[in-house]
Amino acid sequence: MAFYLTYRPKRIKDLDLAQVRESLTEILGAKEIPHAFLFSGPKGTGKTSGARILAKAVNCLKNPPAGGEPCNQCDSCRMIESGRSMDLIEIDAASNRGIDDIRELRDKIKLAPSQAKFKVYIIDEVHMLTNEAFNALLKTLEEPPKHAKFVLCTTRAEKLPGTIMSRCWQVNFNKASHEEIKRSLMRVVKGEKLKINEEDLVRIAQVADGSFRDAVKILEQLAIGGKVISKKKVDQVLNRGFLTGNLDEWLVMVYSGETVKALQWLSEAMNQGLNLNQFITQAVERLRQILLARLGVETETEDIKAIEDLSKLKKLIWRLLQAGRELKGAVIESLPIELAVVEWDSGDEAKNSIPELPKLASRGGKIKLEQVIDRWKEILEAMRPQNHSLEALLKATRPAGFDGKCLVMEVFYKFHKERLEEERYRVMVEEVISKVLSQPITIKYYLGVKNNQPNIIKDAEEVFGVSAKGRSAFG
């Protein structure tokens, strides 16, 4: 059996996210346990494992289970653990997302549990449900039978209607820290009697990007060749053979403007199987750690003394982030990073400066609202290749105020405002506008008067296939 399944957490104390352990211990130790939970967070952080532990805890025959922990020994715990319990129903909303699926759930939920105290419904990727299905689920959550519990799991909590979220006890599964991933890996290392350096476990944690599942999969791949895992083997599996110990070297080359050397280094690393997505993530993360260390936030980060200027460091992070976003869909995979290296010139402040002021800056050194409006068409054109749907939404807004740093946008429908305020969309819009205006910009949205809306409001409605009026009423 795969390591990830073998070493899946079976008790609350096995969960590697400290915050989740504390939350579930508190909730399950209470006299009254909520009927609906929302587990949200990135992939591979233990949401489904946590949901199954909860199902065991509420049905554990040890009465009451100590501190909410399932005993894992009674018939109920064993049946749930082995997947034989008819009272644990797991639904994948990605493939069962329609109203008929939820109506079937509503019909069956009325029946009493066959053996356990509670029927527990785990709905994975719940954000994939249709609007009609959400409405049907809402009715069930509002008036649930006493014998039913719900655990909704999602990687995209922002897509859930507020009416659903308000009826659930929310537990956030944040991206795991390196220490938490290392804790998870050590459980596997001890169980499988593996021999691996602690330093290499940290490297696996860095590549896993906050996912316990991905980290354990990497460790399993490393263990295929035997119980003793060498540094060389870790290098090969992580696609970092040439990179080992040399990432800092490459960053210094780029920072110092040694373009030819940096490109040759990159080419050689690619010939040895370098994964560019992992590489750019590691490069940005390394610079981020240095930035935080310089600001006194992190104290254990090893510095790169050759990268001296804090302002240049921030600009280099910005440029590599941009290259990382451009990797997806690049005609030549390595081109975005190569262009970033070529365009970067450590001696040219203007070329790489984020806060550079454009020609249209006012005497006071700041752009005025009228100038933003004049360049609005240019902003929309810059947004188009990034995200066509966002371009359509922005067409249905109006710049209403600007103080030189914060741009206030008037939005005319609640649904549009909610979409634009989603973190990923807000960041994308801010980045595009900042790039066009050559100045860091933050954005705030407010709901304006519908009578004053732009005529092209239909563009946004057509993109999302729903009338703004209808969607606003739903939200």
pLDDT given for residue 299 in this prediction: 64
Output the six-digit token pair for 134.
């959400």
Supply the mean pLDDT for the chain. 82
Residue 289 has pLDDT above 90, yes or no: no
pLDDT given for residue 63 in this prediction: 66
Residue 169 has pLDDT above 80, yes or no: yes
pLDDT given for residue 358 in this prediction: 37
The band of 414, judged by pLDDT with boundaries at 50, 70 and 90, is confident
Residue 243 has pLDDT above 70, yes or no: no
Mean pLDDT confidence for 224-238? 85
Helix (H) or strand (E) holding 65: none
CA–CA dist 352, 336 (Å, integer)? 15
CA–CA dist 138, 415 (Å, integer)? 19
The band of 402, judged by pLDDT with boundaries at 50, 70 and 90, is confident
Encode pLDDT of 30-82 as tens digits: 888 999 999 999 888 999 999 999 999 999 998 666 668 999 999 999 999 99
Question: CATH top-level class for 178-237?
Answer: mainly alpha
Instruction: Break the chain into its structural domains and give their ranges.
Output: 3-172, 178-237, 247-352, 369-474
What number of CA atoms fall less than 13 Å from residue 177's CA on the CB side?
6
pTM equals: 0.58
Phi, psi of 303 (to 5 degrees): -80, 160
DSSP state of 283: H
Answer for the pair 77, 11: CB distance below 8 angstroms, yes or no: no
Residue 457 has pLDDT above 60, yes or no: no
CA–CA dist 335, 328 (Å, integer)? 11
Helices (H) and strands (E) in the chain, counts: 24, 8
Residue 184 has pLDDT above 90, yes or no: yes
Architecture of domain 369-474: 2-Layer Sandwich (3.30)
pLDDT given for residue 464 in this prediction: 39
CA–CA dist 421, 330 (Å, integer)? 28
The band of 216, judged by pLDDT with boundaries at 50, 70 and 90, is very high
Encode pLDDT of 346-369 as tens digits: 444 444 444 333 333 333 347 788
Fold adopted by 247-352: Zinc Finger, Delta Prime; domain 3 (1.20.272)
Residue 309 has pLDDT above 90, yes or no: no
Handedness of CA 33, 37, 43, 48 (dihedral sign): positive
pLDDT given for residue 459 in this prediction: 41
Residue 111 has pLDDT above 60, yes or no: yes
Percent of the chain with pLDDT over 70: 86
State the chain's maximal CA–CA distance in angstroms. 77
Encode pLDDT of 125-137 as tens digits: 999 898 888 988 9
Answer for the pair 453, 396: CB distance below 8 angstroms, yes or no: yes
SS3 197: coil
Output the six-digit token pair for 144.
């649930």
CA–CA dist 465, 467 (Å, integer)? 7
Mean pLDDT confidence for 115-127? 93
| Candidate CATH numbers 3.40.50.300, 3.30.43.10, 1.20.1260.10, 3.40.50.150; the one for domain 3-172 | 3.40.50.300
